[in-house]
Structure 1
Amino acid sequence: MTTTQPMDRVPPPPAPARAPARWPGVVGVVGEVLVTGALVILLFVVYELVVTDLLADHRQDELSQQLQEDWDRPTAEVVPVHESKLGDAFAVLHIPRLGLDYERVVLEGTQEKQLAQGPGHYTDTAMPGEQGNSAFAGHRVGKGSPFLHLDALRPGDPIVVETADSWFVYRMLGDAATGDVDADPSGIPGRQIVRPEDIDVISPTPNAPAGAAPTGTYLTLTTCHPRYSARQRLIIHASLDGAAISKADMPNGPAALSER
């Protein structure tokens, strides 16, 4: 009798290999990039808003000490303010409205190298006390934030500039349009918001053509506006209140330093 052999079972063909999924890997890489970018931005913000303030404050302490040492030398050795060179510290700015202890050393020049240390004096404008417009620039946020609260000033507020031998008391102007008692006869407002290209605000007579003869003795402070933006400029105009005050006669400063 013939025995039937069982048929060999043919194994099924292997299932086709599946390609590895790509999307989870791509999403992971994108996520890592975004997290890294966010950390970089956060570190940059911390550096700009915190670290640069600390560095500028430390530099201001150094400048204040150096300037006082220079001023304590015999008069013949002190460099006159009009001979100040780019980067020289030559004055101290006091704004009592921003604190009775508010004082910032002012450097000659408004390049970033100077503004990273404190307020800077526009080189082509008058020196403190001279006829014309003495103009200072300062950062609103970061680099010491010297003009952070400049918008807190009110008409009539004193702004005092101290040099080696004199005190100059300026007072913020009012606005004739609003009937302020401290308005300037020329119609120069105490506060303006302008575009960065509106450079007439630092003309010898603020807002007049640059070539026009000065009509008074002014001080102008400029900073970015609004905070955290350089889209516009906040401008404060002040005029000299009386003559220069000799430090020999008043070494501790004028009474205006105590006004708030």
Structure 2
Amino acid sequence: MFTEERRNKILELLKREGRVQVNQLAGMLAVTEDAIRKDLRFLESNDLLKRTYGGAVLPSKHSSFVPYQERGEPARKLPFAKAAASLIQPGETVFLEASSYTNLIFNEIGPIPDVTFVTNGIYGLPDLIQKVRVIHLGGEIHPKDESCYGSITLDSMASINFTKCFLRTSGITPDWMVTTSLRESLDLKKLAMKNSEQIILLVEESNWNQRDMYNVCSLHEVDLVVTNTADTSIINHMEKDEIPYIIT
């Protein structure tokens, strides 16, 4: 594969996923990690991406956020959705943060008795309300996705207690800090955690050892991690720190 072709493939993946890792690219493109780092430096010099610890994100003045509809590979995300849906029990009040997983989780949910779902997302609601009780928090709709944030959303959430909340992250740092790319989602995540008996975090393999703009909490504050990582160093670290996890 020629260098230019390889760099175009890197940009295609980055546009689709919003984030790439050096080791992921090296394996996918069958080149050394040094070659990938050189490609990333070149692409960054042309303002086509921004290098991060172990990888790169889309260039932006404010955020590496990618609209949910532009995030592909639903088959890869389906095991997350199945694992999340299996954790929901009758009689619970569950917060589902708007994400590219939300609609997949909705599709996996059967007719669970006496369950109430609370969400700030809009995408997929017409299907969900045919199955279970739904409370939508309302608020200002984010211009890049179908979800609500802001003071109205937070005011609505403040009076609701959750048995579980399902949250996403765009990066877990090497020192176990959960981060997010959207400032609007930071207060929402913190309030959901405060009001929840159990905090469940969905972490894609590419999100480990990444640092995004805003710090949410330490991973030690999370009650359960659902991830698809095969990295034994990460798994061993979670076991050493006694952080419960599910590998999808």
What is the TM-score of this pair, normalised by structure 1? Answer: 0.24
* Higher gyration radius (CA): 1
Q: Which has the higher contact order (CA 8 A, sep 6+)?
A: 1
